[in-house]
Structure 1
Amino acid sequence: MGNMATEIVAFLLTISGWILVSSTLPTDYWKVSSVDGTVITTATFWSNLWKTCVTDSTGVSNCKDFPSMLALDAYIQVCRGLMIASVCLGFFGAILALVGMKCTKIGGPETTKARLTVISGFHFILSGLCCMTACSIYAHRVTTDFFDPFFVAQKEGYSYSGAASFVTAARNKHSKAVNSLHKEPGEPSRQFGRNAYV
C-alpha cells in the first residue's frame, strides 16, 4: 500500500510539472524591457518565443508575430525546439507512467509495468533537462544583451560618472545631427529627451 501511495504522489507531481512547463511555452513575458521617462513609463517592450510586442503609456499593445522561422535568431529556434520537445516527452512519459503504475489494471504483468515505469522516468528526466536548458539559454541571452555596452536596443539611459563611453558619445552626436536636420531656418534649436513624444 505504501508503494502505491508513493507512485500516486510521484505521478501527481510529475503531471503538475508537465502542466507548468506546458503553460510556460505560450507565456507572453519571457523578456520585458521598458523605456522610462522621468515620471511615467512611456513604453514597455515584451516578447516570448512567438511574438514581440510594445505597450505604450495608455495601455495599448501592438504585437508582431515573428515573420519566418528561417529569419529567427538561433537561440529562439533552439528554445522553441527544446520547449516543444519537453512538452512532448512529458506527455508520453505521463501516459507510460499511468500504464506502468501498480494501481492500474492495464499494462500487462508486473515485469512489463516495471519496464514502462523506468521508461517513463527517463522521459520525465529528459523533459526536465530540455526545459531547463531552454530557459537557461534564453536567460543567458537576455543577461548578455543587458550587460553588453554595444547593445543599445530598448535599453534605459543610466547615468555614469566616469568617462563617456563610445556608445554614449555616438548617441549624443546622432541626436544633435537629427535635431539640426529638423530645424527650420530661424527656429531655435530643439532638444528633446529620448522618451519625449514628438
Structure 2
Amino acid sequence: MANSGLQILGFTLALLGLIALVASTIMPQWKMSSYAGDNIITAQAIYMGLWMNCVYQSTGQIQCKVYDSILALGASLQATRALMVVGIVVGVLAVGISSVGMKCTRCGGDDKAKKSRIAMGGGIAFILAGTSLDRLSL
C-alpha cells in the first residue's frame, strides 16, 4: 500500500479533475463560431454548449438561451450530455470510496488489507469515470 503522502496527492489530483469535469460540463463553449459581416461593430461570437446556446456581440452584450427540448437535439449532443453526467456521478462515488480507503482516514476499520482494497476500488472508479469520457467526440 502506498504511503499517505502519495494517497493524498492522488486524491487531490483526482478531486481537481472532478472539479474541472464539472466546470467543463457547465460551460457553453463547446462549439464556437463567429460572424463579422460587413461591419466589425455588428460582429457576433456564437457559443454552443451542452445545455444552452449563447451569442456574444462585439458591443459586450451576451444572450443565452437554454435548449427547449432534449428531443430536438442531435444524437451526438445527447450522448455527450449523458456521458458527462455519468462521468460526474461515477467521479463523486469514487471520491467517497477513495476517502474511506485512504490511510489517513479512520473509516472502514483498522484492517490494512481491507483499506487497501477499498482504496483500489476508488482508483478503479476514477479510471472508469475517465474512460467514460474518453468516448466523447462532439
TM-score, with length taken from structure 1: 0.63
One-letter identity of the residue aligned with 2:16: S
| Residue 11 (structure 1) shift | 1.0
Task: Flag the structure with larger Rg.
Answer: 1
Q: Percent identity?
A: 35
Stretches of structure 2 that go unaligned for 5 or more consecutive residues are none
What CA deviation, in whole Å up to 9, does each residue of 1:8-48 have, x standing for no partner? 11111111111111111101211110012356262211110
Contact preservation (8 Å) 1:21, 1:131: no
Q: What is aligned with 1:172?
A: none
Residue of 117, 122, 125 corresponding to 1:123: 125
| Residue 71 (structure 1) shift | 1.6
Contact preservation (8 Å) 2:44, 2:57: yes
- Give the distance between the partners of 2:11 and 2:64, measured in 1 at CA: 38
Q: What is aligned with 2:54?
A: 53
Q: What is aligned with 1:159?
A: none
Secondary structure at the aligned position of 1:67 is classed as coil
- Give the distance between the partners of 1:63 and 1:76, measured in 2 at CA: 18
Q: What is aligned with 1:103?
A: 104
TM-score, with length taken from structure 2: 0.88
Stretches of structure 1 that go unaligned for 5 or more consecutive residues are 139-198
- Give the distance between the partners of 2:57 and 2:8, measured in 1 at CA: 48
What CA deviation, in whole Å up to 9, does each residue of 1:141-190 have, x standing for no partner? xxxxxxxxxxxxxxxxxxxxxxxxxxxxxxxxxxxxxxxxxxxxxxxxxx
One-letter identity of the residue aligned with 1:121: G
Q: What is aligned with 2:82?
A: 81
CA RMSD of aligned residues (A): 1.7
- Give the distance between the partners of 1:21 and 1:57, measured in 2 at CA: 29
- Give the distance between the partners of 2:46 and 2:16, measured in 1 at CA: 31
- Give the distance between the partners of 1:23 and 1:51, measured in 2 at CA: 14
Contact preservation (8 Å) 2:28, 2:54: no
